[in-house]
Amino acid sequence: MVKFDSTSFGGVTIDGVSYGDVLVVGDRILSRNKVTLRRVFGTSHAVSDEEVEKLLEGDPDVVIIGTGQSGVLRVGKAVEEKIKTAGVELIALETPEAIREFNEISRSKRVNALIHTTC
């Protein structure tokens, strides 16, 4: 089971290992493709359709999105609708709170997450 240890600007520590922005899908930790995000959106402060598809893998009960240390990442209406239409609860919080929620909720539910670590 994935457990977040901490976060600071630009990174998270999961089970003692440091990462940048990540997707947590089941027991897999995947790096976000910031190059593609910047090409498509002009920023990494957005969630792509491809990321949403990954977040819905494994039939999660909950998807948590960490919106950054100051909450700058945008969770658009289309993202919200796609997740909710799949029957999955969506929780979007600033990253420090998002990782606390992930650790708590994942004890009893299937939780996938997208964690943005900067702004």
- Summarize pLDDT for 30-41 with one digit per residue, the tens: 999 988 888 888
pTM of the shown model: 0.96
* Residue with the two structure tokens 């919106």: 67
Q: CATH number for the domain including 32?
A: 3.40.1230.10
User: What total number of domains does the chain contain?
Assistant: 1
Strand intervals (E) in 1-119: 4-8, 11-14, 17-19, 22-25, 28-31, 62-67, 89-93, 111-116
Q: Between vectors from CA 64 to CA 49 and to CA 71, what angle results, nearest 5°?
A: 85
Mode of pairing for the β-strands spanning 22-25 and 4-8: unpaired
Q: Break the chain down into helix, strand, coil percent, rounded to 5.
A: 30, 30, 40
Domain of residue 69: give its range.
4-116
**How many CB atoms lie under 10 A from the CB of residue 45?**
17
50-104 pLDDT, tens digit each: 999 999 999 999 999 999 999 999 999 999 999 999 999 999 999 999 999 999 9
